[in-house]
């Protein structure tokens, strides 16, 4: 099971309709930046292992931020981060860029409160939505 691949701090895995969602809570970006840092390498190795279970399945990389900063800045930042993760997957995993879409949602929808540091950290995430039922 994919769920057992990740610790609770790294990712949450769940089904959403016909899709499998890997919500990467453990991926860390510097504040206001979209650089995937070296300390995310072990997490991304687990992502690679998980994605290998769905060869050829299309995927959407969704970027989310916390509510700090302006809506427009967060929207741009979330798109930049989603693009960075897509590029990482294409470059490091050899994935087909035509099968991956990246979308930034800014601070919406939050999965936790923005009133605490822990809540904000949970809201800053990348969701990998694997479209399992899609036709190649």
Q: Which pTM value belongs to this model?
A: 0.93
Quick one: 115 exposed, middle or buried, by C-beta within 10 A (0-12, 13-18, 19+)?
A: exposed
**pLDDT reported for residue 67:** 92
Beta strands in the chain (DSSP E): 11-16, 19-24, 59-64, 100-104, 125-130
In percent, the amount of the chain with pLDDT more than 70 equals 98
| For residues 120-129, average pLDDT | 93
pLDDT digits (tens, 9 = 90+) for 31-73: 899 999 999 999 999 999 999 999 989 999 999 999 998 999 9
Residue 66: count of CB within 10 angstroms of its CB: 20
């Amino acid at each position: 099971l994919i769920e057992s691949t990740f610790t609770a701090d790294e990712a949450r895995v769940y089904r959403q309709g016909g899709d499998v969602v890997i919500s990467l809570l453990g991926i860390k970006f510097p504040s206001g930046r979209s650089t995937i840092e070296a300390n995310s390498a072990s997490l991304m190795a687990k992502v690679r292992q998980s994605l290998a279970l769905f060869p050829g399945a299309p995927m959407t990389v969704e970027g989310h931020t916390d509510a700090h900063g302006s809506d427009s800045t967060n929207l741009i930042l979330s798109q930049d981060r989603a693009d960075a993760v897509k590029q990482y997957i294409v470059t490091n995993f050899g994935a087909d860029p035509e099968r991956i879409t990246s979308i930034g949602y800014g601070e919406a929808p939050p999965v936790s409160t923005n009133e605490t540091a822990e809540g904000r950290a949970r809201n800053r995430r990348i969701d990998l939505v694997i479209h399992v039922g899609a036709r190649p």
